Amino acid sequence: MLFRSDGDSIAGLGFTALDGADDSFDNHLGRPLVVNFFAAWCAPCRTELPEFQATFTEYGDRVGFLGISRDDTPGPSVELLAELGVGYPAGFDGSDGSLYPAVGGFGVMPMTLFVDEFGTVVDQWHGFLDGDSLREKVEALL
């Protein structure tokens, strides 16, 4: 499936969790979901990740958060998330990086998808997302 715009679904797409286990977006649906594509080499990603963690903590069980690493290997992302205290689930786009373009990524990093409880992408953001804007987008999901 090739993601082209808001209204497409991420249901059924798989990835590898940072711990090496197989995972899929389906395992994270059932409530609104924020999917953030990030990388350890991405300076704006490093800046926004603490805001994503704070928002994850603030909204608790009402909204799920999922990070997807675009690093070449999972190690740098595991270290980055530990360094920044990010505790929500995270996965890895794989060595071929095919998931990012499949969901509409086109080179700008970071990228964030806002997904309803069924897997439909209702909004997307390419580039840095500050905490206030993130919270506005999360509120729109609820």
pLDDT score recorded for residue 2 = 39
pLDDT band at 3 (very low <50, low <70, confident <90, very high): very low
pLDDT score recorded for residue 122 = 93
Q: Report in angstroms the alpha-carbon separations of 45 from 91, 113, 117.
A: 15, 14, 25
What amino acid occupies position 42?
Answer: C
pLDDT digits (tens, 9 = 90+) for 37-93: 999 999 999 999 999 999 999 999 999 999 999 998 999 999 999 999 999 999 999
pLDDT digits (tens, 9 = 90+) for 97-113: 888 888 888 878 999 99
pTM score over 0.85: yes
Is residue 43 within 8 Å of residue 115, measured between CB atoms?
A: no
